[in-house]
Structure 1
Amino acid sequence: MAQGTGTPKVIANVTNGNLLRQINITDGVAGIVATAKTAGLIGKVETVYSLDDAISKGYSETAEPFIYGILNEFYTELGGSCEFWILGTEDTMTMAQAVTSTNNNGAKKLLTVSRGRVNLVGILRDPAVAYNAGADFMDADVATAVTASKPLAEYQQSINRPVRILIEGRVANTSVANDYEPNTATNGYAGVVLGSVESKGTGAVGLALARAVKYEAHIKIGSGENGALSISSAYIGDRLVDEFTPTELDNFANAGFIVLHIREGISGYFFGRDNMCSDDDFRILVYGRLIDKAQRISTATTTPFIETAVRVNPDGTVNDADATYLEETIKAQLLAQMGDQISGADVIIPLDQDLINTNTLEMTVKIQPLGYMTWIIINLGLSKTI
């Protein structure tokens, strides 16, 4: 009954959906580019906020089983509701094509439409039955996608909309040994997720994205303090993770995969190292996410100063007081927004810049990350005395 009609009364409106808590996301907004089946959802960028919302927009288990599975994985692990972006692609689009910087119908479209909000994007594919993934352990599309994604990520960084990309580690043949090493690809923007909740050779990108956005940028997706993942079984290809020896799982991690594994003394499954496809400063996801956040903060802080004046000394060098003011302003914002996520920050503006003739001010922004206990060594022994 509408308010203000009939006899005077107290009207109580019962709302639904309150038990699904809203996750306070500070550092991550996720999206996926994945194979869709519904014609109206192919090429369409959609934003959803919960699994029920996604179903209402056409991503039901019946209509879109592949994308539904990803979303179900994501929201179950998240344990709440949050913003999530989706771009459906046809089953003929490879993952490499999806991340190609010149493809305006792939990840570039998702990132452009979101106007930089999406800073973590998953790339997944459900190809047609006739698709040939090759004879190797890993689908040949994976390595190609890792290489192809770098120019896109570099472009996003150049426009101050940095992104990190998680690519589905599609397993083609578990009967052969793996010979692909993602960490040799010199692409710290991308990571390959190996392991799935199903025995279909897919990759648990939805799980990884959920862990990434649920916590702040400095927290690893495999952090033991946050407990085991919400899954009851895990596979690599068609083999249970439990069937792999510790050495086999170590080999996957050492090759540079983000791999699902088990930990002695604790039940459940965890992500291992948050490896990215490089061996440089950005070899782990947390370092990339932190530098991306620092870039966004530095950009937002310095943008108001565009086309403003800076005093120069008689010899043409930048005035020390003005340089110090800019340094302290940017540093203060970094520490205010990242103080508990980093060990320290510094901003340096060289004074010997020809600002009059170049109209260009350069600065160096440095952040010192936290240390992470990836390996803990315990030295045990008997002792006659303590």
Structure 2
Amino acid sequence: MTRSITILGATGSIGTSTLDLLRADRANWRVEAVTANSSAEDLAALAREFGAEIAVIGDERHLPALRKALDGSGIETAGGSKALCEAAARPVDITVAAIVGCAGLAPTMAAVEAGGTIALANKEALVSAGDILMSAVRRTGATLLPTDSEHNAIFQCLAGSDVTEVRKITLTASGGPFRTLDAEELKTVTREQALKHPNWDMGAKITIDSATMMNKGLEFIEAHHLFPVGLDRIAILVHPQSIVHSMVEYRDRSTLAQLGPSDMRVPIAFCLAWPRRMKTGLDPLDLAAIGTLTFEAPNEALFPATRICREAIEAGGAAPAVLNAANEVAVDAFLAGQIGFSRITALVEATLARYSAAAPATLEDVLAIDAGARACARDMLETSELV
């Protein structure tokens, strides 16, 4: 039976992997909508290839280019944030929410409000607006399928078990490319070095977050919302080989772990086929060739991001949204050469200390907090406080 799909963020890393899976199973999928932020020509090519009903560009300045590229195709075009949300709300069997950053928050919420099944790859939605998003999920009956490799692994390890049976959830982390460096060496890390992840092929923002360990801190917050076992029962463990993607320990002391290749097509395929499974075309794990799996505690003295994230979710209120906004500003500043690698988390922590707001009750509140926190972080950059 043919299933329908919308891909929010079709030209990004997750979107590209999703489309790779669809290419291998074309007869069973109908693409309703594809979106991108500014890559009009790439988006048009994908819309034509998959026969999408509509292609939406987030940055309206690129809408003329999208229309030109799709002229004569019969594919509908639209642009802007409202159009993204409208595309997200279209009735389909599954929506892949893969827009990076806070820009994906409103479209993800639109998909949830429509009561659909969402393969959630936008971590910022849960970090910035976790309580609001999960409340909407409960109210609308929407289904969230976690697509991050770690949360997808936890979802698989739970396999329908009651979370009250869980003693501990362990998120594994590669440790990034710099886990063996000291404080002085971290100060000299370059943009090019930080963008070379040892195990995963990801977009720039997520790759930098992995290098600072912020990615794992954000995933800690996500796990808190997705799997409500209590903050004290969620742990982080560095696993450099990235073969064990996460673990769940039950109260009988049995621990289940999900193992797989370091390829996002595995968790994406799990979501696309859920509650069944599908072929990915990937090579199987060869544990004999891998030989050794190692684990170590995270070094929060050198990589404080996990501590900062834990403290933010413990504080609650506006803190997680402030953290997320400040981190996006800090990562952009590092990629632009404005600040050094070690100053990314310093800017985040400084913004959390300086900017405060009331706890958000609506999506509009979250977006207002996000805007205020970004302005605060940028002000510190402009005054050279964190350079």
TM-score, normalised via structure 2 length: 0.27
Instruction: Name the larger-Rg structure.
Output: 1
Structure with the bigger percentage of helix: 2
